[in-house]
Structure 1
Amino acid sequence: MTVSISLSTASVYPESTAHAFGYAASLGYDAIEVMVGIDSLSQQKTAVGQLSEHHGLPVVAVHAPCLLFTQRVWGTEPWGKLERSAEMAAELGASTVVVHPPFRWQKEYAAGFVDGIAALEVSTGIAFAVENMYPWRASSRPRVSKAMEMYVPGWDPSEESYAHMTLDLSHASIAGSDVIAMADRMGKRLKHVHLTDGVGTAKDEHLVPGRGTTGAADFLAHLAAARFDGQIVVEINTRRCTTRAEREADLRESLEFARAHFAVPAR
């Protein structure tokens, strides 16, 4: 069994989607996840397809624009964003759309979200892998900072009936979740992994895997032993890198970490 190690285009921000393909190709990543965002190229399926063909890198997933700073990308109607994400995925040959649960102020969207996701999977043939999020809090010290539930029906998709799910290690770190236990709750519904790390603060750190406290190495070994056959995508934050060489080093370290620790045991 071979599981590809892909790079999320979000990992090179503030550089562009085009730069992400370049890094991934030069470093030896197997594929790409496209984060649809404020980079206009990321919103254009034809342009992304040309990058994929030029670099010989398939697109395995499209991350729908559902972050706070992408609220106006592809309009403001949330179902429309998901439909366009599925169209892009189909055009590029990607099997997965990654989506966050609704914010609690998106009341109408949230009310029909679980059933709506199931209906979209049937109508599009694309897997919508709902991502784990986290409670919001102002401080990294849980005892002095009250957590706020900002997602509906909730931040933990394993508690819902979604057919496909994404597990993000940085988000799990903020929530204080045991990533192996969460993976076990998701079971075969776990389709997509955002490989990263965190140290349990209130900030979404997206560290290079192995630099945090989530137990990323043990998590990958657990997935390998369970014969996980989904998608592993490196999604790290390199905004603090001051040079291209620094960014490249973090991306290389992440890829090497993934390949070293996701080792499927022989039968």
Structure 2
Amino acid sequence: MSTRKPAERRSDPQLRVSLSTSSVYPGSTASGFEAAARLGYDGVEVMVGVDDVSTDAVACSALSEFHGVPIVSIHAPTLLLTQRVWGTDPWGKLHRSAEMAHATGASVVVVHPPFRWQRDYAKGFVEGIADLEAEHGVVFAVENMYPWRTGKREFHAYLPDWNPVDEEYAHVTLDLSHSATAGDDPVAMARTLGSRLAHVHLADGAGSPKDEHMVPGRGTQPCAEFLELVAESDFDGEIVVEINTRKASDTAEREADLLEALAFARLHAARRP
């Protein structure tokens, strides 16, 4: 199990490449740990809400210790499908996510911006995230999202915005599948963010209205250029592979995708001597 204190910044010569447990869905959280360890990933991001184990810090810590892979980050249950995980109070979810980060040794909590209909939550969200970081001593990295599109119609589903770059967040998660869906340039976003870029969700997309989470290199995003930029910077956060393997015909095909994503990340995020 990880012994690193939450929010501790690393100075490893090479960037760590970890696996989100959502990458093995509909497999379980336990199968995510097993796959990460067996395939050679450096750590795990726990997507809270995939199954009951994902909500249990003791169970996740036991999996981490058993498989010998640290838990590097906690993804708070702020997705549309996890709105009732840990109750319905959004701030309560974030406090519990921070508590789980402390309990498991994770240094980052990934959180989505509020949905447009969560107006009270959204009003003080930017300031509230800063307060949570100060209270818990854990990095809360707000993730870039995208507008929802149906045909020619576009709905801005997030407040204060789907793109956190221009908001006053101290820490941001950049997801390359989401940037594809939004039509944003992740390389330009990373350059603008500078040291505020704290966490990466590595995937790809082809610009579909649907959030695709393809294996990096299979879509249209500049994944290689993005990783090379990150590797050349003083970024010391986590690179987490978050791909969709639900269409894999069997375990072998799913693992081939996970291995391809890991190899891509290691190749392009390698720091030069």
TM-score (norm 1): 0.96
- Equivalent residue number for residue 142 of structure 1: none
2: distance between equivalents of 1:18 and 1:33? 12
Match of 2:169 in 1: 162
2:253 matched residue in structure 1 = 246
Gaps of 5+ in 1: 140-144
Alignment of 1:98-177 (within 5 A): 98-139=110-151, 145-177=152-184
Write the distance in 2 (CA, Å) between the matches of 1:22 and 1:226: 31
Partner amino acid, structure 2, of 1:13: Y
Contact 2:144 / 2:179 at 8 angstroms: preserved in 1? yes
Counterpart AA for 1:105:
W
Identify the match of residue 64 of structure 1 among 72, 76, 87: 76
Task: Choose the corresponding residue for 2:237, options 230, 244, 247.
Answer: 230
* 1:54 equivalent in alignment to 2:61: no
Matched, 1:188 2:195: yes
Q: Distance in 1 between matches of 2:146 and 2:31?
A: 30
Q: Name the counterpart of 2:19.
A: 7
Q: 1:14, CA displacement in angstroms?
A: 0.1
TM superposition shift of 1:38: 3.7
Q: What is the Cα deviation at residue 2 of structure 1?
A: 2.1
Partner SS, residue 137 of structure 1: strand
In structure 2, the partner of 1:29 is 41
- In the TM superposition, what is the alpha-carbon distance from 1:264 to its structure 2 partner? 1.5
Task: Say what the alpha-carbon RMSD is for the aligned residues.
Answer: 0.8
2-structure distance, mates of 1:65, 1:236 = 18
Q: Shift in Å at residue 56 of structure 1?
A: 0.6
User: 8 Å contact 1:38–1:73 — kept in the other structure?
Assistant: no
- How many Å separate the matches in 2 of 1:124 and 1:230? 18
C-alpha separation in 1, matches of 2:50 and 2:106? 21
- Deviation digits for residues 209-265 of structure 1 (CA, Å, limit 9, x no counterpart): 000000101111111122322110000000001201111110000000000111213
In the TM superposition, residue 115 of structure 1 has moved relative to its aligned partner by 0.5
Matched, 1:96 2:108: yes
Q: Deviations over 1:169-192 (max 9, x none)?
A: 000001111110001111100000
**Paired residue type of 1:43:** T
Equivalent residue for 1:76? 88
Contact 1:149 1:155 in 2 (8 A): yes
Aligned partners of 1:61 and 1:94 also within 8 Å: yes
C-alpha distance in 1, partners of 2:159/2:55? 26
Aligned equivalents of 2:116 and 2:178: distance in 1? 18
- How many matched pairs? 261
The one-letter amino acid paired with 2:93 is K
Letter in 1 for 2:155: M
Give, in whole Å, the separation in 2 of the partners of 1:7 and 1:38: 14
Equivalent position SS for 1:192: strand
Please identify runs of 4+ aligned residues in structure 1 that moved more than 6 A: none
State which of 192, 205, 216 in structure 2 corresponds to 1:209. 216
CA deviations on 1:14-72 (whole Å, 9 max, x unpaired) are: 00000001100000000000000140000000000000000010001000001111010
Correspondence list, 1:39-50, <5 A: 39-50=51-62
